[in-house]
Amino acid sequence: MAKVLIKEVMKEFDLELISGEEGINRPITVSDISRPGLEMAGYFDYYPAERIQLLGKTELTFANKLSDEEKIFRLGRLCSDITPGIIITRNKEVPAELIEASEQNSVPIMRSKQKTSLFSSRLTNFLEKKLAPTTAVHGVLVDIYGVGVLITGKSGVGKSETALELVKRGHRLVADDCVEIRQEDENTIVGSSPELIEHLLEIRGLGIINVMTLFGAGAVRSYKKISMVMSLELWEQNKQYDRLGLDEEKMKIIDTDVTKITIPVRPGRNLAVIIEVAAMNFRLKRMGVNAAEQFTSKLANVISDDNGK
């Protein structure tokens, strides 16, 4: 299960640690954030203890109106065994009862200078990216005219060589050999390269080359949304390949269906140009221009006219 440690959140948002230092290695496993208003009022039946607890001006103002006994009981219950941490926004004063409870249960209390709504939005975005479902795919990811194209196929079919040609033609390499993919949204998957092999390309017979060093910073990028998959396979004489492009094949990656095109490979075919044109054609389709459908429609009209004569 993906997780983010409290100390990573502290570093990312430059948070001040008030108390509970022993718990800075506590894991966060959900991206949801809780603002415990009802809990402050004493209702703990559905307290989401596994979430980061965010206390802003409203919650703290209400807490200051409670009696000493109510403060001790309610603020103490916020610091459960599974609570990752509590963050105070707007640089507000932290109640002494909350600090005491956090030290007893090793729940980190942190403080931010930012406004509550702004901080909540930023923290949610950060956690959603870090905790998004992930997978890894053997292939090459290239940014072609703004379209993230994942090139897949068996080892030795020519994926890296094709990517090299695409980089020479002005496109940008994202990842070679291993593409790490995370589901950022319902229909959005983003690919990136493992840190160890970032900007590197392996060419058989030549070895490993650094694309950024050879072609400059404009030839690489760190991540890219994956819009389509180009599957390379060795040409089979008896296999029927799509010649019109009417049937759109899909490939499921995590929870997202991505357009897939199968390209047969044989000597004499310029794969880089084919993939480049496929990316441009994909953009045209998204803009409502479908050459295959237009051709089919014209053909149907011609046949209809001939039959009517």
Is 199 a known active-site residue?
no
Cα(281)–Cα(270) distance, integer angstroms: 17
Catalytic option among 138, 168, 286, 298? 138
Catalytic option among 177, 225, 260, 285? 177
The count of other CB atoms within 10 Å of the CB of residue 82 is 12
Q: Which residue has the tokens 């430059």?
A: 14
Is 138 a known active-site residue?
yes
Q: String of b and e for 109-123 (b: at least 16 CB within 10 Å)?
A: bbbbebebeebbeeb
Is 185 a known active-site residue?
no
Does the annotation flag 71 for ligand binding? Answer: no
Sign of CA dihedral 270, 276, 280, 286: positive
Catalytic option among 159, 172, 182, 199? 159
Cα(62)–Cα(191) distance, integer angstroms: 45
Does the annotation flag 159 for ligand binding? Answer: yes
Does the annotation flag 153 for ligand binding? Answer: yes
Beta-carbon contacts of 264 under 8 Å, excluding residues fewer than 6 positions away, are 233, 234, 235, 236, 239, 241
Catalytic option among 243, 252, 266, 309? 243
Does the annotation flag 165 for ligand binding? Answer: no
Does the annotation flag 158 for ligand binding? Answer: yes
Does the annotation flag 154 for ligand binding? Answer: yes
Is 159 a known active-site residue?
yes
Binding-site residues, in ranges, read 153-160, 202
- Could you give the residue numbers annotated as active site? 138, 159, 177, 243
Binding-site residues for Mg(2+), in ranges, read 160, 202
Binding-site residues for ATP, in ranges, read 153-160
